[in-house]
Amino acid sequence: MTTNVLINPTIPDADQKRVSAIFDSIESHLGFVPAGLKLYSISPPLLEAFVGTVGYFMSHERLSQKLLAFIRYLVSSDANCHFCIDFNSALLMNMGVTADQLEAARIEPDLAPLESGEKTLLKIALAAIDQPEAVTDADIESARAQGYGERDVFDAVVIAANNKAFTHVLRTFKVEDQAAFA
């Protein structure tokens, strides 16, 4: 499904070492550098900020990687960002989630194979993207009752919002799959 990307990121000469160090770290962790991050190399300060945020969430103290991947997967599905859908579904499948479970969660997020409290955070994060004004004090109280703090709720909403922005950047520049900058 590779399309012609609208821009081909060129790393500024003064930032070659800086970007190479970031990409080397990503490649040692993932085994490759995702095309979406290659796009960000056009702006090394934004690449650093983005990678820093990803790093924060990858080592999150309270929110499981499965929950975070489901938030990204469902936000990406709603935004129709094929790159992010494929990336996050692969992560979830490596965690034992089946293709049928992924499809069921796309139709009804409550069917995501997550713990009850995680489903509460998932629903808040998704509501924050679709109808932020619909998130209520009762939603926050429900998360608190299940042992989550305000920072956990905030972080779940932020990863959803960040993912929505990321999907729009990728779609704008036609980064549809990993072969975008091959």
We report the CATH number of the domain holding residue 150 as 1.20.1290.10
Domain contains 180: no
Do 163 and 93 share a structural domain? yes
Of residues 73, 76, 119, 75, the one with CA closest to residue 95: 73
Do 24 and 100 share a domain, yes or no? no
The angle at the Cα of 106, spanning 89 to 153, to the nearest 5 degrees, equals 85
Q: Is the pLDDT of residue 170 over 80?
A: yes
Whether 158 shows a pLDDT value over 90: the answer reads: yes
pLDDT > 70: what percent of the chain? 98
- Residue 96: inside a domain: yes
The answer to whether residue 2 scores a pLDDT higher than 80 is no
**How many domains does the chain divide into?**
2
The DSSP symbol for 146 reads: T
> 41: which 2 tokens?
């190399």
Same domain, 101 and 154: yes
Q: Dihedral (C-alpha) 91, 92, 93, 96: value to the nearest 10 degrees?
A: 130
Judge if 94 and 42 occupy the same domain: no
Q: Given a cut of 50, is residue 156 above it in pLDDT?
A: yes
Residue 177 lies in a domain: no
Are the C-beta atoms of residues 182 and 32 closer than 8 Å to each other? no
Does the pLDDT of residue 3 top 80, yes or no?
Answer: no
Domain assignment of residue 151, given as a range: 65-172
Q: Which tens digits make up the pLDDT trace of 78-132? A: 998 888 899 999 999 999 999 999 999 999 999 999 999 999 999 999 999 999 9
Q: Can you give the pLDDT at residue 1? A: 47
The Cα 73–Cα 110 span in angstroms is: 14
Mean pLDDT of the chain: 93
Contact 69, 91 (CB under 8 A): yes
The helix/strand/coil state of 80 is coil
Query: Are residues 110 and 147 part of one domain?
Result: yes
**From the centroid of its chain, how far is CA 76?**
8
Structure tokens belonging to residue 71: 């938030």
Predicted TM-score of the model (pTM): 0.91
Cβ proximity of 41 and 47 under 8 Å: yes
Alpha carbon 86 to its chain's center: 11
For residue 160, which amino acid is it?
A: A
Residue 125 included in any domain? yes
Question: To which residue do tokens 């796009």 refer?
Answer: 39
CA distance 115 to 26: 30
Residue 66 and residue 92 in contact, taking contact as beta carbons nearer than 8 Å = yes
Q: Do 37 and 108 share a domain, yes or no?
A: no
Q: What percent of the chain has pLDDT over 90?
A: 84
Mean predicted confidence (pLDDT) in 3-14: 88
